[in-house]
Amino acid sequence: MKFTEEHEWLRVEDDVVVVGITDHASEQLGDVVFVELPEAGTTVSKDDEVAVIESVKAASDILAPIDGEVVEVNDAIVATPSLVNEDPMGDGWFFKLKVEDLSTLDDFMDEAEYKDFIG
């Protein structure tokens, strides 16, 4: 699993990348009450605002961590936003991206580096 400075995690499943937010991000956000996801089929570029998450505290944008095509989104977190708090690294995933070159993921932090990053 890889991690971004935006507190997203990326996990390669077959030829797609599953994206979600980290435990740390979920704790910082507080209780999530609203999630808006892109439509499957959307082509995104790195740092595009692809999803919105609202907690009891504030709205935050979820950025595309990498260029790719959204091939699937997790409608379960739209119906039940609290899933993002309950299981951010599992059932609370956001979307799956099909990317050209999986090797670009090598640039992101691994778990140890992310732990150092969040202190």
Partner 1 sequence: MAELKRTCLYDFHVSHGAKMVPFAGYEMPVQYPMGVLKEHLHCRAEAGLFDVSHMGQVLLRPKSGDGADAAKALESLVPVALMELKEGRQRYALFTNDDGGILDDLMVANRGDHLFLVVNAACKADDIAHLKAHLSDTCEIEEINDRALLALQGPAAEEALATIVPGVTEMSFMDVEVLESDYGDLWISRSGYTGEDGFEISVVEAEALALAAALVDQGPVELIGLGARDSLRLEAGLCLYGNDIDTTTTPVEGALEWAMQKARRTGGAREGSFPGAGIILKQLDSGASRRRVGLLPEGRAPMRAGTELYAAETGGEPIGHVTSGAYGPSIERPMSMGYVAIENAEEGGTIYGEVRGKRLPAIVAPMPFRPATYKR
| Minimum separation from the CB atom of position 54 to partner 1 (A) | 6
| Contact (Cβ atoms closer than 8 angstroms) between residue 77 and residue 84 | yes
Give the Cα separation of 42 and 29 in Å (integer). Answer: 26
| Minimum separation from the CB atom of position 40 to partner 1 (A) | 19
Pick the binder of partner 1 from 1, 18, 52, 105 (CB under 8 A).
Answer: 52
| Minimum separation from the CB atom of position 79 to partner 1 (A) | 10
Pick the binder of partner 1 from 33, 71, 76, 109 (CB under 8 A).
Answer: 33
When asked if residue 59 is in the footprint of partner 1 (CB under 8 A), the reply is yes
When asked if residue 56 is in the footprint of partner 1 (CB under 8 A), the reply is yes
Residues 6+ apart with CB under 8 A from 45: 64, 67
Residue 58 zone, left/alpha/beta (φ > 0; ψ -120 to 50; rest): beta
Query: Interacting stretch for partner 1, rule CB under 8 A, among 8-16, 40-48, 54-62, 107-115?
Result: 54-62
| Minimum separation from the CB atom of position 12 to partner 1 (A) | 30
What Rg value do the Cα atoms of the chain yield, rounded? Answer: 13
CA–centroid distance for 86 within its chain: 15
When asked if residue 112 is in the footprint of partner 1 (CB under 8 A), the reply is no
Pick the binder of partner 1 from 5, 12, 31, 102 (CB under 8 A).
Answer: 31
Structure tokens at 83: 């899933």
